[in-house]
Structure 1
């Protein structure tokens, strides 16, 4: 390549994963992303990146992209597809009214995309039927903040995690889900060992390695725990009476609701020892600088809003918010969940944090938009929306940048709803999205590295996401697709934007509309950014809202002045009561199923599954069980587990985890019809939601577990051009490699070598194979023109053979080796594994350090996490593997991992609670 042809530049953008909102410096070489590193200037991460962010470049490869539009399965131009969307929506609205159509959007789209979608639906179509997958993530936290503060206001900032002397993590495995914030906590504790960390979670997760106390409470008992804390603070005289009197209302009713929650009754209800409960309460009581950091384990519940308010009540009672190092801090799960809330992207909101049930707010928004209409009632929240699609009340839905078939609960019902819907439109980037199977119209959308706009992270920080590469094929930005439909529906003047800076300026101006002066009506105000030129917008640095004439440089934390956005200006205590589980474990369904994320994967893996490095940490789904439950179920290593609820079932392998409460189990959320069709955990969850927020209960359902004996295990790798037909067995999981893909297959009825070979089309190549003693034991290699096209390694599923699996990394290397000498595939046929590939399970994804390598070093001499890093580099980049390194160190030293502070499991009896009526 000549010097003239070489181009390279670096641009700062924002990571598209969790709600931390890390800054990312992207290097683009000859039009392609060639390097990614953390932005040292970005306040969210200060140069650090987790393992997912570090490997973002892997996800920008062109394969598996949706590059063309289609209607009824036929490729068309994007303009033709937009014509079809506009025509179908207009006809349905004309015949059935505006509430017969809906948008289901996502915390993955940018604020400008969200803004025009909300404007089109609420201001011009005239329905509030726009909701978002943030409903599944943040809506209970939003409702809790609004009940307490009168506004959806996160009071804290990330610096508070470093300032706090006590960090209480509730329902948050931050080490895996928000690793950069977890590293802040680690750094704070290292700098000041007196900093205390308490983790409250039913399972002993990776974050517990930082904890001074782990309270493994029973699922659904958070309200009892925090009501008991409120009662303890009052009894032991740790209340801030001046703050309560001057800055709050309804304290007496909230305390009355908590009076029956003494330490012993809380211990009984929560299933942990009274000593551990009292220890937590005492530490909270005597530590003014306390941050309670909570996430999906609190929000994803049919009592999620009340749980949030139980936490907030304890902070209000002690005056612990608005000051450095203190506050109730709800952490978002998605990169732009907060941006969607800012523009009113949920069915019960209006734009700019205005309320749909407020006539004055409706008038202001309609006037500002010069809109023909505005809905007078809230629309359908996510679960109700799809229920109304199923009944035919909603006849058209436009799904943008999300995968509801996988992520919404009760998948069987979601599939039935979409199959019955008259018109399903899907805007999507990647072909491996389960929802695409139900699409009548597909619109090709841009993705990260191509999109241009803003996002808002968990601390109210607005950051620019910048498009750095040319969008491929016919792909268009979401805002362009939405505006294209709006223009075709007759609203051209209101959607005549030519760039995202114009949309942002309008959004910023609306936030300040009827919202100025020393006593603003609403918390969200970025009117100070409404006059940005396109150049200034392009150069916008991260800034926390509010941004206005009073706060021209942004606002670090909220409520420092003790004024809130309620009618009285005072914060509201909310009386809450612990309720019995609606569907408790019982004889037919004796286990509790919990779910959550893995360290190296994200949502439904349409992006992260494209990275072979990220797949290495855990290639396949499983269910984690307490060893005692494994024993009681008589499970052997050749068994898989059928997990069955009243709503559906899944089939997965199991793993032992002493950090799981007996009677409970944990399954990751990520697997889909594309990656492991038997393992999509949403099939097991009910459609039960919080009555206030509408957020589904995705952390609890009662299930029964049944062993499924497997007779054969297959490891298959193949080039993309040699993909098998996949008609095999009850269970398979697919994941990416550097040079192709891999399948892990398990069968209850063994197949022969010839039956396995029949999974490939005739003419795919020539087979070289070796047969073992049993019919189900063989190794076969598919060759064409001297190149390995595919490999299939089969063995019996017996306990004595579970460690004889061949390392995927070696198979991947063979797949990419080019012309292969007979000696090379002879080594594979004889299963002669090279020493370099005997690392075992990958622990450190950044430097590809495996469990066997780490254990070998630990056997030589004791190590700390730090000294292991010095020797092997593991844990020295993103730090996400540090909790696992610590576990390996403890195992090597003979320290058995046990679940602390747990009472013997007796029953689910609930302590009596008075029903408090707030008069």
Structure 2
């Protein structure tokens, strides 16, 4: 009999989807959990591929010290000894932890307690600083605590969803599809505010392609408009808010007149009027916001500008209305609950003296940190300056993800002691580790996570970790014991930590802190194992009632001491760095649909890599012409902080003068596709969140002297090539290659390929400069190398799909041409769930005269699962219609 599937939680975005997973026959199979209240059985393409990421291949499976294998005992003793020495010699602030929203809450709790209570420094920060900290700061300023008022049902019960800086169709697809399903039933409207015409914007009733950095002006204008139209809820303002009078100057300012707002935001006045009128006419109104708001030098002010409008109208805390921060990572909120940010303490407490005393007493801590620590960008600058001498990095890749990444790499190179806990054997950051610790990955972890709507779910172990990999909380506990803090770190299981975490949330909490899960402080091991998802707060004594969940602030009471929310006066100001003659373009960064962070998981799954295969630079067609760029050509992107090399693609959905580059490529996956090296290190003064959406840059076309690809079932290192990109395929790896000036690397590979023996297909045209070789073993292609002048090398997509398959007859003949047997099978994959390509969709549209996304789904299955590709299908339908009309 097959064992029952295990209920766990997805490892990707903050939607927090429930997963049913089973491990058998050496494979992990996953499907959506139909009873989990976040997703009700739906999973996006990344979530469906989770089982394909659970592998012992390329795993860090034992500790390393200076690259040499070591026992856990030796590694832990080494870390504890160095920490004690550095603390004694240089003080506690010379030690720091840099954590991740990929960690479980129990991992986070142990790290925060060790550093802030026992080592004695506030230097615990997290990569959530890069995505959610402006939302945190905005919530605390307005509400008195870092809380999201709404729940996911609000997306289904609203009449108007405004998505500001949130490409939810790609980045939070299951939540977006919940809205879309309800939209069809109730006729809800969707307004998208985003400089780019994203997949989400394509699905909108109204798209405002505003000028980057002008969000405060837009929402200040909305605030004034709502006041002038009598939409202010005066009773709510008098009863539940404070500081409204501080905004009176805003109401009389010319800067908020409709025409001026439109000009400041770079929008047509009619678009602004439609947006303002829609908000006025729809009481049930949700504003969902994400990185386009947060990742800014004014991110906190943008968050508060949005909240101001909801407070003005009293549209908060009720069904279908309110501001909603859509979290980026699976446990960004869980980390914030335990103090994972440097300016937090624990249990939503800050560094006020009474809070420091309270937490110190609960922990019986001898060395409580009395002030906040260094935020991410400042932390790595302190490492660079030698002030921080020991850094423990867990489950994140700052050498890729932080701005001004080359300076971050230099800091890691200089640091006396770099400890990296990771589950993978290679990453850009791991290459700087003095001590590398093998961590558990998804499917091996056991603990809890909190999603965007404050719902805590269990992530459960499916199988044993490979080799000597151990939980992060365990490694932290072992180091704490070796430093002499064993009595405070008695944990033998994640349940032990969760109980303490829950108890701290209710400790001397008489309702002044909304975060309270003290109902779970006495949960048994069996109860922890069986825990079902729940929304907080769940206070001691009201577990049964609170387990059903609910919105916050329905009673008009907020978390400030006086129970009132705060209005904030927010002056419009441009981003710190603007375009200039040397750097005339603006760089915007963000995610792709099928990728996650630095691709340590998703980059190993061939079907997820089939959507976008290379580090791309997206540019408006008119800018391409102006700067001499060509589609599929290469371009060098340069800013004051670094350079990169990217494949060029046209995107008419961009504003003129703006460039979009995805964040995911690393030095493990490309030669020079790490966008963090380009991004300026300016941060928001309140949140410390970097300005990832607005960096001045220039682009220069690059003409390779030679280009090609290498395809193999065996390991290959692209040494000497100026441009390369690694792409996993079903039976091996594909490398796109280019040389800018010196073609010697190609000459070397050509000589090696000429030496292949056995069954070799070969074509070499010296006059044209083209070279092609395909190596077969017993009729099965095992390697291929094609090279030639730029533009002469065929698309390797079809050929890469033949790797490892027996080739006979016409298929064998086609190998040397890399020719498609069926033209509908090639091109980029639009639907990763079912592997449906762009060409297949266009062929079906033409053959069957399809006219709707639903009809395409019925014919091809594309778009019938997670739905994240539906906007692209709609764009293909429009393209086909325009082509037919032109003909």
Could you say which TM-score interval applies, normalised by the shorter chain? over 0.9
Aligned length, in residue pairs: 878
SS in 2 for 1:791: strand
Answer whether contact 2:830 2:837 (CA < 8 A) is retained. Answer: yes
Structure 1 residues 363 and 764: alpha-carbon distance in aligned structure 2, compared to 1, 3 A threshold: farther
Give deviations 1:163-219, integer Å, cap 9, x for gaps. Answer: 1101000000000000001101211211122x1110000000000122111000000
Are the counterparts in 1 of residues 824 and 837 from structure 2 also a CA contact under 8 Å? no
Aligned with residue 892 of structure 1, among 854, 859, 880: 880
> What pairs with 1:178-197 in structure 2 (closer than 5 Å)?
178-193=172-187, 195-197=188-190
After the TM superposition, which of the residue ranges 60-69 and 831-840 deviates more from structure 2? 831-840
Shift of 1:465: 0.2
Give distance in 2, aligned partners of 1:426 and 1:890.
Answer: 48
2:800 to 789, 805, 811: 811
- Matched residue, 1:202: 195
Q: Deviation of residue 751 (structure 1)? A: 5.5
Of the candidates 286, 291, 294, which is equivalent to residue 286 of structure 2? 291
Q: 1:896 to 1:768 in 2, by over 3 A?
A: closer
Contact (CA 8 Å) 2:241, 2:564: kept in 1 or not?
yes
Equivalent residues in 2 for 1:282-681 (5 A)? 282-356=277-351, 358-516=352-510, 520-549=511-540, 551-552=542-543, 553-554=546-547, 555-637=549-631, 639-681=633-675
Q: Secondary structure at the match of 2:882?
A: coil
CA distance in 2, matches of 1:390, 1:535: 47
CA deviation vs aligned residue, 1:93-123 (integer Å, no higher than 9, x gap)? 1111111000000000000000000000011
Kept after mapping to 1: 8 A contact 2:35/2:41 = yes
Aligned to 1:230: 223
1:216 paired residue number: 209
Q: Deviations over 1:448-469 (max 9, x none)?
A: 0000000000000000000010
Do the aligned partners of 1:321 and 1:328 also contact (CA within 8 Å) in 2? yes
The CA deviation at 1:504 is 0.3
Contact 2:517 2:540 in 1 (8 A): no
Deviation at 1:90, TM superposition (A): 1.0
Q: CA deviation at 1:618?
A: 0.9
d(CA) in 1 for partners of 2:718 and 2:754?
A: 11
Among 685, 709, 726, the residue aligned to 2:703: 709
Deviations 1:800-822 (A, max 9, x none): x57x41324x4232x2126x669
* CA distance in 2: counterparts of 1:771 and 1:133, whole angstroms: 50
Q: 1:427, 1:442 within 8 Å by CA — same for their partners in 2?
A: yes
5+ long unaligned stretches in structure 2: none
Q: Deviation string for 1:657-677 (max 9, x for gaps)?
A: 110000001000000000013
Q: Distance in 2 between matches of 1:73 and 1:805?
A: 39
Structure-1 separation of matches of 2:744 and 2:79: 47
Distance 1:752 1:509 in 2: 62
Contact 2:629 2:700 in 1 (8 A): no
What is the deviation of 1:583? Answer: 1.3
Identify the match of residue 245 of structure 2 among 207, 228, 252. 252
- Cα shift readout 1:857-905 (whole Å, capped 9, x = no counterpart): 21231321101111111111121111110000011111899xxxxxxxx
> Does the Cα contact within 8 Å between 1:9 and 1:29 map onto a contact in 2?
no
Q: Residue 826 of structure 2 aligns with which residue?
A: 839
1:277 is matched with: 272
Q: Is 1:33–1:469's contact at 8 Å kept on the other side of the alignment? A: no
Question: CA shift at 1:764, angstroms?
Answer: 9.6
Aligned pair 1:849/2:842, yes or no?
Answer: no
Aligned to 2:735: 743
Whether the aligned pair in 2 keeps the contact of 1:226 and 1:310 (CA below 8 Å) is yes
In structure 2, the CA distance between the partners of 1:896 and 1:310, relative to structure 1 (3 Å rule), is: farther
- The 2-side partners of 1:307 and 1:371 are apart by 38
Change (3 A) 1:273 1:786: closer
Could you tell me how far apart the structure 2 residues matched to 1:765 and 1:353 are?
67
Cα distance 1:203–1:255, how it changes in 2: closer, same or farther (>3 A)? farther
Does the CA contact (< 8 Å) of 2:192 and 2:200 recur in 1?
Answer: yes
| Residue from 766, 785, 796 that aligns with 1:792 | 785
Between the aligned partners of 1:560 and 1:308, the Cα distance in structure 2 is: 20
User: Is 2:139 aligned against 1:145?
Assistant: yes
- Structure 2 residue aligned with 1:866: 854
The residue correspondences of 1:158-169 to structure 2 (distance < 5 A) are: 158-169=152-163
In the alignment, is the contact (CA less than 8 A) between 1:204 and 1:659 conserved in 2? yes
Alignment CA distance shift 1:633-1:126 (3 Å): same
CA distance in 2, matches of 1:556, 1:79: 47
Residue 621 of structure 1 deviates from its aligned partner by 1.6
8 Å CA contact 1:23–1:45 kept in 2: the answer is yes
Instruction: Give the distance between the partners of 2:595 and 2:436, measured in 1 at CA.
Output: 26
- Aligned pair in 2 of structure 1 residues 763, 655: CA closer, same or farther (>3 Å)? closer
Quick one: structure 1 residues 203 and 620, their matched pair in 2 at CA, closer, same or farther if it must change by over 3 Å?
Answer: same
1:18 aligns with 2:10: no
SS in 1 for 2:677: helix
Q: Where does the alignment leave 5 or more consecutive residues of structure 1 unmatched?
A: 1-5, 898-919
Specify the SS of the correspondent of 1:353.
Answer: coil
- Cα distance in 2 for residues equivalent to 1:832 and 1:323: 58
Q: In 1, Cα distance between the equivalents of 2:677 and 2:103?
A: 26
- Secondary structure of the residue aligned to 1:834 is coil
Deviations 1:772-828 (A, max 9, x none): 254641211245676543211224323xx57x41324x4232x2126x669755431
* Kept in 1: contact 2:721–2:745 (CA 8 A): no
Separation (CA, whole Å) in 2 of partners of 1:556 and 1:764: 69
CA deviation digits over 1:543-574, x for unaligned, max 9? Answer: 00000146423331100111111121100001
Report the counterpart of residue 780 of structure 1 in structure 2: 773
Do the aligned residues in 1 keep the contact of 2:734 with 2:800 (CA within 8 Å)? no
Q: Secondary structure at the match of 1:702?
A: strand
Contact 1:126-1:375 within 8 A present in 2 as well: yes
Q: 1:192 to 1:400 in 2, by over 3 A?
A: same
For the structure 1 residues 573 and 871, does the alpha-carbon distance in structure 2 shift closer, same or farther, using more than 3 Å as the test?
Answer: same
Please say if residues 844 and 875 of structure 1, whose CA atoms lie closer than 8 Å, have aligned partners that are also in contact: yes
Q: Distance in 1 between matches of 2:746 and 2:508?
A: 74
Q: Distance in 2 between matches of 1:237 and 1:752?
A: 70
- Distance across 2 between alignment mates of 1:110 and 1:606: 18
Cα distance in 2 for partners of 1:544, 1:326 equals 18
Counterpart secondary structure, 1:893 = helix
In the TM superposition, residue 835 of structure 1 has moved relative to its aligned partner by: 1.7
State the shift of 1:257 in Å.
3.2
Paired with 2:614 and 2:767, the residues of 1 have a C-alpha distance of: 26
In the other structure, the counterpart of 1:912 is none
SS of 2:347's equivalent in the other structure is helix
Deviation track 1:16-54 (CA, whole Å, cap 9, x = no partner) reads 000000000002214x44311000010000000000001
Which moves more between the two structures, 540-549 or 576-585? 576-585
Q: 1:686 pairs with 680, 690, 698, which one?
A: 680
Output the CA distance in 2 between the equivalents of 1:382 and 1:500: 27
Match of 2:865 in 1: 877
Change (3 A) 1:760 1:200: same
